[in-house]
Structure 1
Amino acid sequence: MKTSVEWFRKECQGLETRATGRVTPALLAPVRVKLSDREYKLEEVATVGVRDGSVLMVTLFEDRNMKLVESALYASKIPGVVPHRHDNRTIKIPIPKPTVEARKEFYAIAKRKAEEIRVQLRNQHQMGLKRGKVTKRTVEYDEFQKLTDRHIADVDASLASLQKATGASK
């Protein structure tokens, strides 16, 4: 349960960063580049830096991987990421400032993910009860329920924080 909540909190932080317009190399963290033998993180095949506060610069270690990195950037489907070749080893990615609609969309994405996490937590709750052979109206059941409720409250708090940052309404 804790792992699920931590994952969601990190997702919300990433969306909050995007909603406020700050550009960081972490924006490209989900990008995976498929080379001949396996998939690599983008950071393993290139360096990512920020220029002028709104442009990401990806500098490849080896220029022969240019097409693979470009296709990985397109395949990641990160909103607003449109790579442009700067030279043989550099890709320039201008990141536009988010509009009001974009910020609302970030919140909508987080809201869907929050519901998925809540469902995961409830499923983990049920599996834990079955594994431990815990019956209702016992101290163990009450404690387990409190734990689940606390984790769901953490998810709700992260979502509320994102809502405040994006200016989205319920």
Structure 2
Amino acid sequence: MISEIKKTTEQKMNKSVEALKLDLAKVRTGRAHTGLLDHVMVEYYGSMVPVNQVANVTLIDARTIGVQAWEKPMLAKVEKAIRDSDLGLNPANMGEIIRVPMPALTEERRRDLTKVVRTEGESAKIAVRNLRRDANQQLKDAVKEKLISEDDERRGEDEIQKLTDRHVGEIDKLLAQKEQELMQI
């Protein structure tokens, strides 16, 4: 019973950390990376699909992303989708390939992005703590139903607290890494 609760809680906490990693990948640093365009949607024969499903997304250099559409007519649509996204990018159509230069970040913009990163991290920590609360509630319910003893409940709560501490530490490490990346010039 306790191991089951611990296992499901750990899986959910891992998912929270993975979700944070994805959110942090969306936050733009000074360097270009192909994952930046993963969430840009483009219309493709009546349905909206991510850019990477209609084009090759590559790095030309450290500050430039190259997008090469698989079909010639898609170039204009992909360029428009990138321009209209909230990423603040200005793509340039070069005929066969779209070049997406990454503008340099100002000090003020870096600080704003750091605040965004901290907010994302705090949301992830809250999610992990909520999972801890839910797991502890399941343990309390099991004691009420006489499925486990109170000693088992305390041991289970200790194990869940250790899981929580480990995941919060992981979140803090990810945040520190991203903040350092942001403040690097």
Name the TM-score, length of structure 1 as normaliser. 0.78
TM-fit CA distance, 1:90: 2.8
Contact 2:25–2:36 at 8 Å: present in 1 too? no
1:3 aligns to 2:15 (yes or no): yes
Q: Say how many residue pairs are matched.
A: 163
* Structure 1 runs not aligned, ≥5 long: none
Contact 1:125–1:144 at 8 Å: present in 2 too? yes
* Structure 2 runs not aligned, ≥5 long: 1-12, 144-149
Q: Which residue of 1 aligns with 2:111?
A: 104
| Paired AA for residue 7 in structure 1 | A
TM-fit CA distance, 1:148: 1.3
CA, structure 1 residues 77+14, in 2 after alignment: closer, same or farther (shift >3 Å)? closer
Which of 120, 131, 140 does residue 124 from structure 1 map onto? 131
| Paired AA for residue 77 in structure 2 | L
Aligned ranges for residues 1-170 of structure 1 at < 5 Å? 1-12=13-24, 15=27, 18-19=28-29, 21-78=30-87, 80-87=88-95, 89-132=96-139, 133=141, 138-167=154-183
Name the TM-score, length of structure 2 as normaliser. 0.72
Give the Cα–Cα distance (whole angstroms) in 2 for the partners of residues 131 and 148 of structure 1: 16
Contact 1:134–1:141 at 8 Å: present in 2 too? no
User: Percent identity at matched positions?
Assistant: 27
Give the Cα–Cα distance (whole angstroms) in 2 for the partners of residues 95 and 153 of structure 1: 32
| Paired AA for residue 35 in structure 2 | A
Contact 1:58–1:90 at 8 Å: present in 2 too? yes
Contact 1:111–1:159 at 8 Å: present in 2 too? yes
Give the Cα–Cα distance (whole angstroms) in 1 for the partners of residues 26 and 68 of structure 2: 22
Structural RMSD (CA)? 2.7
Secondary structure (helix, strand or coil) at the match of 1:40 reads strand
Give the Cα–Cα distance (whole angstroms) in 2 for the partners of residues 127 and 34 of structure 1: 41
CA, structure 1 residues 43+167, in 2 after alignment: closer, same or farther (shift >3 Å)? closer
Q: Which structure has the larger Rg? A: 2
| Paired AA for residue 24 in structure 1 | H
Give the Cα–Cα distance (whole angstroms) in 1 for the partners of residues 47 and 165 of structure 2: 40
156-165 or 54-63: bigger deviation:
156-165
CA, structure 1 residues 34+58, in 2 after alignment: closer, same or farther (shift >3 Å)? same
Secondary structure (helix, strand or coil) at the match of 1:63 reads coil
TM-fit CA distance, 1:162: 2.5
